[in-house]
Amino acid sequence: MASATDTAVPASVFDLTGKKIWVAGHRGMVGSAVVRRLGAEPCTVLTADRSRVDLRRQSEVEAWLDVEKPDAIVLAAAKVGGILANSTYPADFIYENLMIEANIIHGAYRAGVKRLLFLGSSCIYPRLAPQPIHEDALLTGPLEPTNEWYAIAKIAGIKLCQAYRAQYGCDFVSAMPTNLYGPGDNFDLKASHVLPALMVKIHKAKQEGLSSVEIWGSGKPQREFLHVDDLADACVHLLRVYAEDVAINVGTGTDVTIRELAEQIAEAVGYTGGFHFDASKPDGTPRKLLDVSHLRRLGWEARYSLKDGIAHTYRWFLENQSNLRA
Ligand code: GFB
């Protein structure tokens, strides 16, 4: 935890007042949370539906930017998924993410956009990076094979921001969130991340009176989980104050094993059965805990505990489950 003496909130480098901010990817879990959070700021939020702008098409992105002329962009658009989706659709994950990033970052430069915040993922770091993972660990070792395609695309996004800053002086920055969850998450078991997947499985097991729930892998990998509303708050903070080259980590600073996560979800759901582990499914990276000291020095910390975040997300799931693919 940062102490009062080592935390010095920097002066704002970008005032949001009166600015037009394009949230690219506003229908996703992250983008929709950023739109909600920016609603509390004195700025105008721009969004573009897929029917109007296909972010994989350069001409459509450039035409949109020419017309709308945003002052800033939060680049939350991405093809995302859990461990199975990542390893099943490597071409989609690398191609779509590279295209979206290249089109928006180059388009932002071309249109004279003043600020851009690119969002990546903690899977950009080497599989066996020292824990907690400091920003310096980038490109110091081999990636986790189950998500290397997505990770390579996200590393390219960081490098695009750094290249346009170096060559053209664009004030484009990157933030690397840890594993995210919350309202608007994907609850489809074939594509989802672990937290929503276990929420669906445990909820169904309770309803059907099952004595055990299947968990992929060994249950031993450790993951750090950040509520998406905390990420959105961090994005607004970084938009205001962060103007450095380094892709900054965004997380809570604590992690749990997958088994512990399942136990916490079971408690929230009120499920009293057990768990069994499917060793035929991959564990992925053994541990992915971010070093968030840089962000703390900038005066930001996550507010949701995992317990409160799971409870909040489960309430959202119960209210919205009839509209979800699960
Ligand atoms: O969340 P998750 O899919 O992705 O899986 P990663 C985390 C851990 O939970 C793995 C285990 O060890 C899974 O085997 N797990 C247990 C499950 N049961 C389940 C289940 O029912 N569904 C899922 N999905 N997992 C992703 C990357 O890695 O993290 C992405 O693939 C991205 O690129 C994302 O970076 C944040 O944390 O392993």
Nearest CA to ligand 1 atom 3: 82
Residues 161, 113, 302, 178, CA torsion sign: negative
Q: Is the CB of 219 under 6 A from ligand 1?
A: no
Q: Is the CB of 120 under 6 A from ligand 1?
A: no
**Interval 163-172: pLDDT, tens:** 999 999 999 9
Euclidean distance between CA atoms 21 and 70, whole angstroms: 6
Euclidean distance between CA atoms 290 and 144, whole angstroms: 16
- Paired strand residues for 74: 23, 117
- pTM value is 0.96
pLDDT of residue 317: 97
The yes-or-no answer on residue 164 being catalytic is: no
pLDDT of residue 322: 83
pLDDT of residue 2: 37
List 150, 164, 242, 271, catalytic entry: 150
pLDDT at 136 over 90: yes
Cα-based distances in Å from 92 to 17, 54, 116, 153, 252:
38, 15, 24, 11, 30
At 307, which helix (H) or strand (E)?
Answer: helix 306-320
pLDDT of residue 11: 77
How close is the Cα of 218 to the center of ligand 1, in Å? 12
Q: Is the CB of 83 under 6 A from ligand 1?
A: yes
Residues 298, 126, 253, 85, CA torsion sign: positive
Euclidean distance between CA atoms 56 and 100, whole angstroms: 5
**Interval 95-123: pLDDT, tens:** 999 999 999 999 999 999 999 999 999 99
Q: Is the CB of 179 under 6 A from ligand 1?
A: yes
Which atom of ligand 1 has the smallest separation from the CA of 123? 35
pLDDT of residue 325: 62
CB 123 within 8 A of CB 144: yes
Listed residue (285, 230, 290, 283) closest to 255, CA to CA: 290
**Interval 285-320: pLDDT, tens:** 999 999 999 999 999 999 999 999 999 999 999 999
**Interval 187-240: pLDDT, tens:** 999 999 999 999 999 999 999 999 999 999 999 999 999 999 999 999 999 999
